[in-house]
């Protein structure tokens, strides 16, 4: 079974702070894996490393057959990342944004519009500048922009955040559909009840490393007040 | 010269040998001591010859004594920026920390030598023109070019991870060095082509005997001095990075410790 | 200030500042060397 | 090439939507033209001697504002990451940004030229040379500006750093463009084309350099 993501003892530094301190992870193609873990555990960095955006300072890191330590920009085109940012130009309208990102990826404008409809972004919003939209609507538009690019590897950082119930259903549907078509999905989430029935497997990220928790691991209680990271003022990610 | 191992970031395999510190306590080494001695002897000779023994110049009078030190200073500065550009290209290609720190060290020396160049130029100007500053081609070019490299050093002060800082510095290092010939040409045309008494006449051929020897002595002394400074500056930069790294292994160990106790301390955020 | 005074200033200022810079470098090197484990010191 | 046009149209549409260039940068440049008039006491005939130099100093300041704006848009909202993932060739993004910047700068320069002609009653005797100098100088400014704009946009104190990095580098452009305009205004004898040639070398050198350097800049700076 060909591996989409293969990490062995991967270390990724944010400044001097080891956001990833030796992570091991194997994800097969077409698998949907949920990343669970407290804030600051390194989930976001793990996703950014898989997207080829964060540098791996030591260890083995191969995504979609590309060695990330040597030339990590090679896989970016084949990866879709959805984070807390919207990745949208505030002053451009919804359609202009989606059209731009679709055509930038070499996809058709029609793909973008279809993705918008899949995300049920009301057509009356299509010609409004993005900054007038609510956070939930913006997240749907950025999700549509990502879907239009048809990435082989979906990296979603708390995709459900800020979405209403119908939005979450749409996203879960899209994730299942993408996995069925052979795409691989890696997503971090705190909504454990909903995420569990979408994900094939759950993996726990703690302290910058991956602990493959058993399927029904007990829910985590709230983390105590957090110790300041040892490095000078580099805030670690969520 | 041992080239750094190909890992790109500052991380290195944990578990370094921890025997008591036996390495040399300073950035000195036999090589630098030899260079150091040669430099000091050379400077002494240069001062002796340049200031006292050589006759005043037929055309430039005593002001040639400043030139003996002035021309080598500016040549070393330009050499420093060429080295920075080459090291920057190598960094963008090889991505090893060695080239990044090498480029930065050379740039810092370049700015120092440019500052001295301007200082000497103004003093020379005071004698020749009676005024510290004239919009004379060489002085103007030096001032403008120095500002582009002050920008280079300013960027390196901004706290950033080493990869980003390295890449941005390399880009500036390359953009700035290409500006040197262009600015030279522009400023020359700007002040018109008539060759007024400029301070940078190449080591003019009609100099002879002792004057010519002193001029070339100056160049060699400054090159050796530059080499000595560059080696030390590079090692200081290298040690600064390693000193910062010392914390990384502890941080990685501490981070992994969180894993053992997942539900109590939680991740640092 | 006579010409020779300017010439003297030029030489003293140049080698003075180079000397100070070198001392600063050596001092900083010595201080940093102490805080770095021995195998870290890489000489050209 | 198609990607470059895509980026350029996106930038120009962004400008058209937000009107920062026309609404803020252009009025700023006209304001500075007035300020210089206040400072230099038009009666004493100083103004017409410094018109071309003043024009280009104003253009340089306006270009810093415009470049800073053009790239702060990209740095916001994680768009820089999206660009890295987008599959757009870095050189295409660079070319698109430079083209968009040049178009906006030329618009500002056109209005500025009218203002200068009116306020300082200057007449551009040889319009062909004037336009030529302006075109080549603007391409040079945009070419160097786009590289520094991209790297300054993601540094924390990038806005204050951009002028320090860019303006010294643009010294040859300021010299070439000013002297080119002096010839165009008929205030200086001699051929104007050497200055255009100098500006041309600057533009070509920095266009190629920018296209080459944008890849590492985008990749992991």
Question: How many structural domains does chain A have?
Answer: 1
Tell me the C-alpha distance between D199 and D174, whole Å: 9
Question: How close B151 comes to chain A (CA, Å)?
Answer: 22
Q: Which domain holds residue A38?
A: 3-88+152-216
Asked if pLDDT for residue A232 goes beyond 60, the answer is no
Tell me the C-alpha distance between A134 and A81, whole Å: 20
**pLDDT score, position C40:** 60
Neighbours of chain C (3+ CB pairs under 8 A): B
Asked if pLDDT for residue B26 goes beyond 80, the answer is no
- Segment A2-13, tens digit of pLDDT: 788 898 988 888
- Segment B95-111, tens digit of pLDDT: 888 999 999 999 999 99
- Segment A14-52, tens digit of pLDDT: 877 888 888 888 888 888 999 888 888 888 899 999 988
Chain D interface, mutation test: which of A49, A93, A95, A101, most D Cβ atoms within 10 Å?
A101
Report chain D (221 residues): mean pLDDT per 10 consecutive residues: 91 89 89 87 75 92 93 87 89 95 94 86 80 94 95 85 93 92 84 89 95 88 52
Closest CA to D161 of D178, D149, D173, D172: D149
Question: How many structural domains does chain B have?
Answer: 1
Asked if pLDDT for residue A163 goes beyond 90, the answer is no
Nearest CB to B182: which of D156, D201, D217?
D201
**Which position has the token pair 């008591």?**
B20
Chain B interface, mutation test: which of D168, D190, D214, D215, most B Cβ atoms within 10 Å?
D168
Torsion sign, CA atoms A208, A213, A216, A217: negative
Contacts of D145 in chain B (CB under 8 A): none
Residue A144 resides in a domain: no
Residue B201 resides in a domain: yes
Q: What is the DSSP string of B92-150?
A: HHH--HHHHHHHHHHHHHHHHHHHHHHHHHHHHHHHHTSSS----HHHHHHHHHHHHHH
- By C-alpha distance, the chain D residue nearest A51 is D85
Residue A9 resides in a domain: yes
Question: How close B250 comes to chain A (CA, Å)?
Answer: 9
Residues 6+ positions from B14 with CB-CB distance below 8 Å: B249, B252, B253
Contacts of C33 in chain B (CB under 8 A): 23-27, 239
**pLDDT score, position D31:** 92
CB contact C3 to B (< 8 Å):
yes
Q: What is the CATH number of the domain that holds A61?
A: 3.40.50.300
Interface ipTM: 0.86
- Cβ C36–B123 below 8 Å, yes or no? no
**pLDDT score, position B3:** 37
Q: Which two tokens stand for residue B32?
A: 């630098």
Contacts of D6 in chain A (CB under 8 A): 100, 103-104
Tell me the C-alpha distance between A60 and A24, whole Å: 9
Residue A83 resides in a domain: yes
Residue A127 resides in a domain: no
3 state DSSP class of A92:
coil
- What pairing do the DSSP bridges indicate for beta strands A3-14 and A58-63? antiparallel
**pLDDT score, position A218:** 44
Residue A186 resides in a domain: yes
CB contact B177 to C (< 8 Å):
no
Residue B12 resides in a domain: no
Tell me the C-alpha distance between B208 and B217, whole Å: 13
**pLDDT score, position B136:** 78
Residue A226 resides in a domain: no
- Segment A195-213, tens digit of pLDDT: 777 888 888 888 888 887 5
Question: How close A133 comes to chain B (CA, Å)?
Answer: 30
Contacts of B4 in chain A (CB under 8 A): none
Those of residues 13-42 in C touching chain B at CB distance below 8 A are 13-15, 17-18, 21-22, 25-26, 28-30, 32-42
Q: Which domain holds residue B217?
A: 30-244
Cβ density class A213-232: b for 16+ within 10 Å, e for less: beeeeeebeebeeeeebbbe
**pLDDT score, position B13:** 41
Q: What is the CATH number of the domain that holds B153?
A: 1.20.120
Residue A147 resides in a domain: no
3 state DSSP class of A36:
strand
Contact between residue B38 and residue B231 where contact means Cβ atoms under 8 Å apart: no
Residue B235 resides in a domain: yes
- Segment C3-44, tens digit of pLDDT: 788 888 889 999 999 999 999 998 998 888 887 776 666 654
Contacts of B29 in chain C (CB under 8 A): 43
Residues 6+ positions from B224 with CB-CB distance below 8 Å: B35, B38, B39, B42
Of B170 and A21, more confident: B170
Tell me the C-alpha distance between B175 and A121, whole Å: 45
Average pLDDT over residues A89-108: 90
Contact between residue A157 and residue A189 where contact means Cβ atoms under 8 Å apart: no
Range name among A25-39, A155-169, B194-208, D43-57 with the lowest pLDDT average: B194-208
Question: How close B241 comes to chain A (CA, Å)?
Answer: 10
Contacts of B179 in chain D (CB under 8 A): 169, 172
- Cβ C33–B238 below 8 Å, yes or no? no
Closest CA to B225 of D82, C34, C25, A174: C25
With cut-offs at 50, 70 and 90, classify the pLDDT of residue A231: very low
The whole model's pTM is what? 0.85
């Amino acid at each position: 079974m060909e591996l989409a993501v293969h990490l062995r003892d991967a270390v990724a530094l944010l400044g001097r702070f080891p956001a990833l301190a030796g992570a091991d992870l194997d994800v097969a193609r077409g698998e949907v894996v949920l990343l669970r873990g407290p804030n600051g555990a390194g989930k976001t960095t793990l996703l950014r490393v898989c997207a080829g955006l964060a540098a791996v300072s030591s260890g083995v890191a191969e995504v979609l057959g590309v060695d990330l330590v040597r030339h990590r920009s090679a896989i970016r085109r084949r990866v879709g990342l959805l984070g807390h940012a919207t990745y949208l130009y505030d002053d451009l309208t919804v359609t202009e944004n989606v059209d731009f990102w679709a055509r930038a990826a070499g996809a058709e404008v029609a793909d973008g519009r279809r993705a918008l409809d899949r995300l049920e972004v009301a057509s009356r919003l299509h010609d409004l500048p993005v900054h007038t939209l609510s956070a939930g609507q913006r997240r749907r538009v950025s999700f549509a922009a990502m879907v239009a690019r048809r990435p082989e590897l979906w990296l979603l950082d708390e995709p459900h955040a800020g979405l209403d119930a119908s939005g979450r259903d749409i996203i879960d549907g899209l994730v299942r559909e993408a996995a069925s078509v052979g795409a691989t999905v890696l997503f971090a989430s705190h909504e454990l009840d909903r995420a569990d029935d979408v994900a094939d497997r759950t993996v726990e990220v703690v302290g910058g490393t991956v602990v493959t928790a058993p399927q029904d691991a007990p829910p985590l209680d709230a983390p105590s007040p957090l110790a300041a990271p040892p490095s000078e003022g580099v805030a670690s990610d969520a | 010269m041992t080239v750094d191992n190909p890992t790109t970031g500052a991380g290195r395999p944990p578990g370094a040998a921890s025997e008591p510190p036996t390495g040399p306590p300073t950035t000195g080494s036999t090589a630098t001591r030899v260079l150091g001695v040669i430099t000091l002897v050379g400077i002494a000779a240069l001062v002796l010859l340049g200031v006292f023994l050589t006759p005043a110049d037929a055309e430039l009078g005593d002001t040639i004594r400043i030139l003996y030190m002035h021309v080598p200073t500016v040549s070393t500065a330009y050499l420093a920026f060429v080295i920075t550009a080459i090291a920057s290209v190598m960094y963008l290609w090889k991505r090893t920390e060695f080239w990044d720190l090498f480029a930065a060290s050379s740039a810092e020396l370049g700015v120092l030598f440019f500052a001295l160049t301007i200082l000497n130029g103004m003093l020379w100007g005071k004698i020749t023109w009676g005024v510290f500053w004239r919009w004379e081609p060489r002085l103007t070019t030096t001032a403008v070019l120095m500002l582009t490299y002050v920008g280079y050093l300013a960027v390196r002060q901004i706290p950033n991870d080493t990869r980003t800082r390295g890449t941005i510095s390399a880009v500036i290092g390359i953009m700035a060095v290409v500006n040197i010939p262009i600015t030279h040409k522009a400023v020359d045309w700007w002040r018109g082509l008539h060759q007024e008494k400029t301070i940078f006449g190449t080591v003019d051929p009609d100099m002879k005997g002792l004057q010519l020897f002193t001029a070339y002595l100056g160049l060699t002394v400054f090159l050796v001095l530059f080499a000595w400074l560059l080696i030390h500056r590079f090692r200081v930069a290298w040690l600064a990075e390693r000193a910062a790294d010392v914390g990384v292994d502890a941080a990685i160990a501490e981070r992994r410790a969180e894993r053992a106790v997942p539900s109590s301390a939680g991740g640092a955020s | 200030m006579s010409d020779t005074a300017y010439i003297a200033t030029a030489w003293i200022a140049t080698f003075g500042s180079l000397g100070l810079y070198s001392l600063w470098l050596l001092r900083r090197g010595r201080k940093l060397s102490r805080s770095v484990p021995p195998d870290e010191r890489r000489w050209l | 090439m198609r990607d470059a046009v895509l980026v350029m149209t996106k930038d120009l549409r962004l400008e058209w939507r937000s009107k920062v260039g026309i609404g803020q940068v252009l009025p700023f440049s006209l304001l500075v033209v007035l300020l210089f008039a206040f400072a230099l006491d038009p009666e004493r005939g100083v103004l017409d001697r410094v018109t071309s130099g003043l024009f280009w100093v104003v253009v340089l300041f306006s270009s810093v504002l415009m470049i800073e704006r053009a790239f702060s848009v990209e740095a916001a909202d994680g768009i820089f990451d999206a660009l890295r993932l987008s599959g757009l060739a870095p050189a295409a993004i660079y070319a698109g940004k430079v083209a968009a910047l040049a178009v906006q700068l030329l618009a500002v320069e056109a209005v500025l030229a009218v203002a200068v002609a009116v306020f300082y009653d200057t007449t551009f005797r040889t319009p062909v040379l004037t336009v030529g100098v302006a075109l080549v100088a603007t391409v040079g400014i945009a070419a160097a500006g786009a590289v520094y704009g991209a790297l300054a946009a993601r540094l924390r104190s990038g806005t204050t750093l951009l002028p320090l990095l860019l303006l010294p580098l643009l010294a040859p452009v300021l010299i070439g463009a000013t002297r080119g305009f002096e010839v165009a205004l008929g205030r200086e004898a001699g051929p104007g084309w050497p200055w255009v040639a100098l500006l041309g070398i600057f533009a070509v050198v920095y266009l190629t350099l920018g296209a080459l350097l944008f890849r590492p800049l985008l990749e992991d700076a």
